[in-house]
Structure 1
Amino acid sequence: MKEEKDKKGLSISELARRVNMAKSAVSRYFNYTREFPLNRADDFARVLNITPEYLLGVNENKKDNSATKQILDRVFAKLESERQEKVVSYAKSELDEQNKENLVQLFPYNVKEKLSAGTGYGYFDDGNYDTVYYDEEYDYDYASWIFGDSMLPDYPNGDVALIKVCPFEYDGCVYAVDWDGQSYIKKVYKEEKGLRLVSTNEKYSDKFAPYSEEPRIIGKVVASFTPLEK
């Protein structure tokens, strides 16, 4: 405040006169021997041609919460009861709007199958399922937990794979495959005598499912996700 006073070329006496206060009181504010009166911030700011926030040392872009609250409390206290009710009503409306904007819609998925990104698990082991949630909605037929690390980094252990029932389309796409009582999630390549199941994790060797053992394409993996807490 002293810097602004000096820029305006005001003496303490002139400043005190303009804000209608005693010179001794204003002097104490400048000497830091008396706390600045928040209820007079508007008067000092008007004379010094600055904002009350600047006068109180509140950053214009990131206001200190406590100082801002003090200003709001001071203004609110000056309002008549009818106007206070309007302020409260408006504040509640703004809060509701803010909560709606921050609300993330979560979609449920019933995960009831096991697909292995590794050694294989039984297909349709039982009728139980887990309900998990994600913030995007997908078109799918089956949802399965992914077990194992052979499809890292795209399909981590513990993620959910979403499967759309469809016939084989293209070599190299990721499919859910039923073979010899086990189920797998792998890149699939059709060869003359069977299906080659390929992992994306280089430490795993390819698997070969002969047509004589009747491997079956369950469907294509159309998406995967890590479940979100509801």
Structure 2
Amino acid sequence: MSGVRHKPPVTLDRVTTSRGELVLRESDGRYEVISNGVFLMDTSDGRSERLLVDAAVSRCKATEPRLLIGGLGVGFSLVRAVEHAHLTAIEVVEIEPTVIGWHANHLPHLTGAALSDPRVRIIEADILAWLAAAGDQYDAICLDTDNGPNWLVFEANAELYANRGLDLVARRLRPGGVLAVWSASRDHVFEERLRDRFGDVEILETPTGTRTPDVVYVVRAADTAA
């Protein structure tokens, strides 16, 4: 009996950080990130991460929009953002310097061109703390932090998806600005929280084939400042 033989995963880097162990593995051209022994993300698909950016940017009313992405990950969202030529600024907040370094050392073939785009700025910071600091406003914000609101690897990220986090995001949105949130599955409690804060919620699903669909939530800030 014959079939395709897959090489076993190769560990490219294993780092102990302040938040635990991070591992980057590669197998047959697919890269995956393991955090504290739990699968976090890989490069096998990326459709829902690209949808996250497309949904936010396409709904922007600004002619020269500024975009903020919460989470660099394996770079799907960043690469898609760079393809939107009318974006004037693309800022990516990533908490892990190890992940940022991987894009220079192990993943430049995936994200090197995007990272060299003059509109792109990578900010090493915790997204919640960075949102809380005084700073620029954006026409679109995309959150792809951890695995979304209801499948967290790091419990500290729960506050980003709680009322305080949504209030901080709303403060950074320009009037009429768009927020898109990636989630590994639907979270009805989070959906109600979004409705309470922003009003109507658009729910976009991407089939995965092996588990529940990935979800992108899209909401819009009021057209006039509160």
TM-score computed with the length of structure 1 as normaliser: 0.19
Structure with higher RCO (Cα < 8 A, 6+ apart) = 2
Bigger proportion of residues as strand: 2
TM-score computed with the length of structure 2 as normaliser: 0.20
